[in-house]
Structure 1
């Protein structure tokens, strides 16, 4: 099996479309079809069922899918290992980050990194932390710089770099703003606007309220913290936001409860050979590491 045919197979399987796969691979649709046909001839089985406009994996396709991913990861891993022998910090670095970290934590670090290593082509992806986490597990991403999971997968090396204090906030004219030290129970009498229900940050918040025997009254959810800030500012509810986002238009509530912190950092797959470019990025991240993050890790 050649890697180009496997790449075409993965692109079609993941996109569910020969035309979209062709766009992703910068090929014509007939070229993608030819590669799939060659792969089917090699294994002696059809990989896709084509019914009308829909495309689905056959049983043979479902068996091949995880193995195709593993083969391509191993090929990439071998290329990186061989490339590292030159000790040059160059080539492509696939890095994912969340929107908040990408906007508020990484810019100075990325600026210094790209100046220090002009031979590196940075392939930067803005993803939800949970999606980036899975991307590293699947071998699609070399590094992710995201909100860290409370219980990370043992296949991953997870290193906290920063710690966000999450502030309870509301609009200055919100009824909660008149209370000197509102309790968690008092908050539950008003609508909340919070990150999505399947995010690591939402899990931290829910756990704190559940420990107090309380259920969060969530009216609206979004994974974009800047959007949450806007929702709070116009009075749609109270929320928890990183300290860096709390500005003059928001009122920080002096909650009668210990603060909630969330760790931010990087993760890489323990079984993956990192490129020299990735190693240089991890070194830059380690230099930016806050003392509070080291305490949290230790």
Structure 2
């Protein structure tokens, strides 16, 4: 059976459907001798005849062995066609991609990346999942967005530096940039001590500021709600609040009846680094993943031009 190939099965199916070797040869664009050679080779591999040949113009008849081979051969050829189609889709960038992400990337960078990717490849399949904040791994993912380098052997590209900003009630802090040491002793609502948060808190401590953490939450909207409720100020990355900051006034508008929040730059300005990771030989070799990387770099560069860092 190892010597059976798809051309022999294609020839056999053509003969069964056309009734004669000559008509099958005409349909396939082969010579009649080539058709005969294909069937002879198939029968040698199977150890039996697949056709009874009455001779003359009369049509050939399928043998019992041939009926088994014909049924399974059609299924095999169908799978082979599906395989070829899937490979063609993969090469064209219309395959599947599995992407890991984090909250602020999901809010700002990723939607634009996905929209542009789908505009180019409307038939691609995209699967998304959020990375574990304290133990991000590539695993079975093709690409992983993360605010830092991960521990495995993944390749990566730095997408952007994301500056931290202070969010507070109007009047709680002087207008303009805020010196980091001015946050010493202030009540602060913060992220859990995962991802880049420990680095931020160390930065503040090194600058002489030790805010009082009164509440921790992984939800950006929850943190902003607690700031509005007067629980304290917050220090959040620009990407985490980018989508809610008013471009005309620089404030974060609250719901009706709640105060707007003021956004201040920190001096000096700490940043976190947003990376895109992929496994060598997997994501880097997929045309769809490679294109996603290109789009993510482009989108991040465009976004960085709006960042407070671009104005300094």
SS in 1 for 2:92: coil
Deviation for aligned residue 1:88:
2.5
Question: Are positions 1:284 and 2:295 aligned together?
Answer: yes
Aligned partners of 2:183 and 2:209 also within 8 Å = no
Partner of 2:140: 140
Partner of 1:64: none
Deviation for aligned residue 1:84:
8.1
SS in 2 for 1:290: helix
Distance of aligned partners of 1:94 and 1:254 in 2 relative to their CA distance in 1, 3 Å threshold: closer
Alignment of 1:94-113 (within 5 A): 94-113=98-117
CA distance in 2, matches of 1:192, 1:162: 26
Aligned partners of 1:191 and 1:238 also within 8 Å = yes
CA distance in 2, matches of 1:292, 1:179: 25
Question: Are positions 1:229 and 2:224 aligned together?
Answer: yes
Q: Choose 1 or 2 for highest CA Rg.
A: 2
Question: Are positions 1:125 and 2:120 aligned together?
Answer: no
Distance of aligned partners of 1:181 and 1:98 in 2 relative to their CA distance in 1, 3 Å threshold: closer
Deviation for aligned residue 1:270:
3.0
Distance of aligned partners of 1:271 and 1:293 in 2 relative to their CA distance in 1, 3 Å threshold: farther
SS in 2 for 1:209: helix
CA distance in 2, matches of 1:122, 1:233: 37
Aligned partners of 1:128 and 1:223 also within 8 Å = no
CA distance in 2, matches of 1:239, 1:140: 35
Partner of 2:213: 218
Deviation for aligned residue 1:156:
1.9
Unpaired runs of at least 5, structure 1: 1-78
SS in 2 for 1:93: strand
Aligned partners of 1:148 and 1:160 also within 8 Å = no
Partner of 1:87: 91
CA distance in 2, matches of 1:219, 1:185: 18
Unpaired runs of at least 5, structure 2: 1-82, 246-251, 254-259
Q: TM-score, normalised by structure 1?
A: 0.59
CA distance in 1, matches of 2:95, 2:153: 25
Distance of aligned partners of 1:86 and 1:116 in 2 relative to their CA distance in 1, 3 Å threshold: closer
Aligned partners of 1:166 and 1:262 also within 8 Å = yes
Pick from 186, 191, 210 the counterpart of residue 190 of structure 1.
186
Deviation for aligned residue 1:239:
1.0
Q: TM-score, normalised by structure 2?
A: 0.57
Distance of aligned partners of 1:220 and 1:87 in 2 relative to their CA distance in 1, 3 Å threshold: same
Number of residue pairs aligned between Structure 1 and Structure 2: 205
